[in-house]
Amino acid sequence: MNALLTVEELRKCYTTSRGDLIAVDGLSFEIGEAETVALVGESGCGKSTVALSLLRLIQPDGGRVVFDNVDLSVVSGREERRLRRQVNIVFQNPYSSLDPKMTVRKIVGEPLTTAFGLRGRALTKRVAEHLEDVGLGAEHLTRYPHQFSGGQRQRIAIARALALKPRLLVLDEPTSALDVSVQAQVLNLLKELQQRHGLSYLFISHNLATVEFIANRVLVMYLGRIVETGPVHEVFSNPRHPYTQALIQSIPSTDPRLRNRLRPIKGEVPSPIDRPPGCPFAPRCDRVLPSCRDELPDLVGTANDLRAAACINPLDKET
Ligand SMILES: Nc1ncnc2c1ncn2[C@@H]1O[C@H](COP(=O)(O)OP(=O)(O)O)[C@@H](O)[C@H]1O
Ligand SMILES: [Mg+2]
């Protein structure tokens, strides 16, 4: 498979009053054409920092982001604008991401005006098409964000993100702020849009059920690093990294047979400022060995099944 996006050794360090905070620590992954890759992990593990770095909304400190075989850090001018249009983002909260003073026509149309100078009737027509694409009628054109429900607002945000016909959408917890009943509708819409337009998604979430529904592959992130990766169903049914297993067991299940297995992950995520040597999960891990505290384990995998885990004492297939 030819990768649409290749991320190599991405690094981002925030300078804080308490010291340097390494939010993303050498992350590498690929996303193929029309593929959905999920990025999961507890709050604070660095997911949004990855998203913002891919969009160049923050400047990473190291690594490469290659889109369609072009290194985004070296392009400029017209080529940069062309490539920037091909990647867009939808944020978690449609209540804060949409300008309350703008009509839907302006919200969805603004990128078209900026990029192509589209105005007047031609703009209205295009915006109406984009609204229809996300299941909203043209009667909404003159309305303001507060006149919509959360699910409708997220549809508007998606329409805006798709206005310039990107090839990759970064979805940063796109359904987390929505009512459970509405989440499924938005997820179904995202699946439809992907099929209709051949889109690739980086789907960021801490909701594993959602990830299982929408993604092909998953990247499990812990304290700025990927600790496990592979096809979603395989990773979730047969996790190799103890952190992945703990994450699965900590999620409330709708399946009553699994409910009494619910176990919160013990201990706290170490501070990204003062990280312990060795594996950052070692202080919380059931399977910890003395040597886990010495060295940071590499993400090693088996080439034949695309799976990899950064653990020196991974779970066996039998467990
Ligand atoms: N602008 C910032 N300045 C300083 N620290 C930040 C900033 N943004 C995020 N962080 C810190 O970086 C780490 C990763 O944050 P984030 O990428 O938002 O994680 P996630 O999206 O997984 O919750 C956290 O420890 C967070 O507190
Ligand atoms: Mg986040």
| Per-residue pLDDT in tens (0 to 9) along the chain, 319 residues | 579 999 999 999 999 999 999 999 999 999 999 999 999 999 999 999 999 999 999 999 999 999 999 998 889 999 999 999 999 999 999 888 899 999 999 999 999 999 999 999 999 999 999 999 999 999 999 999 999 999 999 999 999 999 999 999 999 999 999 998 899 999 999 999 999 999 999 999 989 999 999 999 999 999 999 999 999 999 999 999 999 999 998 876 555 555 555 677 888 888 888 887 899 999 999 999 999 999 999 998 876 668 999 999 999 754 4
CA distance 82 to 119: 20
The ligand minimizing its distance to the Cα of 219 is 1
Residues near ligand 2 ion, CB 5 Å cutoff: 47-48
User: Contact, 222 vs 243, CB < 8 A?
Assistant: yes
Q: Which helix (H) or strand (E) holds 21?
A: strand 19-32
The ligand minimizing its distance to the Cα of 172 is 2
Residue nearest to atom 8 of ligand 1 (CA): 49
- Residue 269 Cα, ligand 2 centroid: separation in angstroms? 15
Residue nearest to atom 1 of ligand 1 (CA): 14
Number of other residues whose CB lies within 10 A of the CB of residue 206: 17
- Residue 14 Cα, ligand 1 centroid: separation in angstroms? 8
Residue nearest to atom 14 of ligand 1 (CA): 46
The ligand minimizing its distance to the Cα of 176 is 2
Q: 90-126: b or e for each residue (b if 16 or more CB lie within 10 Å)?
A: bbbbbeebbeeeebbbbbbbbbbeeeeebeeeebbeb
User: Contact, 175 vs 202, CB < 8 A?
Assistant: no
Q: Considering only CA atoms, which of 92, 90, 131, 88 is closest in space to residue 109?
A: 131
CA distance 239 to 315: 7
CA distance 319 to 305: 19
